[in-house]
Chains A and B, each alone.
Chain A
Amino acid sequence: MNTDAHARYVLALADDALVAAQRLGEWIASAPELEEDVALANIGLDLLGQARALLTHAGQVEGRGRDEDALAYFRDERDFLNVQLVERENGDFAVTVARLLLLSTYLHELWSALRSSTDPTLAAIAAKAVKEADYHVDHARMWVLRLGDGTEESHRRMQAGLDAEWPYSDELFDDSHIDPALVEAGVAVDPALLREAWRMRVAAVASEATLALTDVPPAVTGGRRGVHTEQMGYLLAEMQHLARSHPGATW
């Protein structure tokens, strides 16, 4: 099996988690309530934990001596393989909640499937992550229901949040970075197979929350090829500058 393709697959999983964690961290001290600061931080930290395990694993599969820090802090924007959905600016709380619903539902489906990956490390990470993702979906769902089926204003903003994020969810099912041999070998999961279950779950929450799934065309993206939005550069600058200014610093 192609080692580079394998490392690249794990790296894309890691980057989704890492960048989503970084964005969620921005809510600390800015969420609508202190309790929500803690909730979003917990979710972010779950994702960061997944990212660390995945980055470490990607470095080992790659076999060029890069550890989690090297991969997180010393790669440039074009080398990040995350979907653009996770790097976009947070927007208001409803946008974050909409994104969390789309992303976590996808991740829950993905980790459920990857529990039986033939890559034992990936299967172990998936077994842990699936329980975390289950809670993330629940948290997002609780808020989508309350905001969507809340006041006129909360409904309007929840619908706007869903409309803004929906076009970017298409990229979650992009398999252009996955070597078909990896799927055949049972290491990777073809994301296209997750789409129907994902869509049904998201649609069920939206409908219960009196929201509509918009019929807008998918956004033009390219995160899996290292093509990112303008906002990604700012995110990386904040995330990486300390490690780059003081290489090897510990505290």
Chain B
Amino acid sequence: MSEVSTGPTSGSRRDWPLWEVFVRSRRGLSHVHVGSLHAPDAAMALRNARDVYTRRQEGVSLWVVPAAAITASSPDEKDSFFEPAADKIYRHPTFYEVPEGVEHL
């Protein structure tokens, strides 16, 4: 990590950009979104994330991402995005008999 890394430009405190925070709680698990915070730049965002989201040993690794860098699906598009999957039950592997004794499928 660079010392004074270039994040979104910082100005007055009102202009501090928003960062999304992802925490990996244990080795082997994925980073999971836990929330967001304001910080003047990436290095400070990482430190703020450490203080705000990992005070109680919640994590072993942190990511911070400028919220502006995330492209999100729109609630208006919910139907066209997700609805069509609802009646396609053949996409779920529910037609197999699970052999006895197989624990991790």
Contact = CB atoms under 8 A, between A and B. Distances in A.
Interface of A: 32-36, 38-39, 42, 138-139, 142, 145-146
Given A33-B16, A42-B51, A139-B47, A145 B39 contact: no
B44 interface: yes
B48 A39 contact: yes
Contacts of A39: 47-48, 51
Nearest to A45: B55
A48 to B, nearest CB: 14
Contacts of A33: 13, 16, 38
B52 A38 contact: yes
Interface string B1-31: 0011000000001001000000000000000
B13 A35 contact: no
25 contacts: A32-B13, A33-B13, A33-B16, A33-B38, A34-B38, A35-B37, A35-B38, A35-B48, A35-B52, A36-B48, A38-B48, A38-B52, A38-B55, A39-B48, A39-B51, A42-B51, A138-B47, A142-B43, A142-B44, A142-B47, A145-B3, A145-B4, A146-B4, A146-B41, A146-B44
B51 A35 contact: yes
A142 B51 CA distance: 14
Interface of B: 3-4, 13, 16, 37-41, 43-44, 47-48, 51-52, 55
Q: Which secondary structure dominates where chain A touches chain B?
A: helix
Nearest to A43: B51
A32 B3 CA distance: 22
A142 B40 CA distance: 11
Q: Which 5 A-B pairs have the closest CB atoms?
A: A35-B48, A39-B51, A38-B51, A42-B51, A38-B52
Nearest to A208: B3
A39 B51 CA distance: 6
A151 to B, nearest CB: 9
A146 B13 CA distance: 13
Contacts of B48: 35-36, 38-39
Given A32-B13, A33-B13, A146 B40 contact: yes
B43 A42 contact: no
Contacts of B38: 33-35
Nearest to A143: B44
A146 B3 CA distance: 11
Contacts of A145: 3-4
Given A33-B13, A33-B16, A35-B52, 14 more contacts: A35-B37, A35-B38, A38-B48, A38-B51, A38-B52, A39-B51, A42-B51, A138-B47, A139-B47, A142-B43, A142-B44, A145-B4, A146-B40, A146-B41
Contacts of A139: 47
Contacts of B47: 39, 138-139, 142
A171 B8 CA distance: 41
Nearest to A36: B48
Nearest to A42: B51
A35 B39 contact: yes
A152 to B, nearest CB: 14
A38 B56 CA distance: 13
Question: Which of B39, B41, B43, B48 has the most C-beta atoms of chain A within 10 angstroms of its own C-beta?
Answer: B48
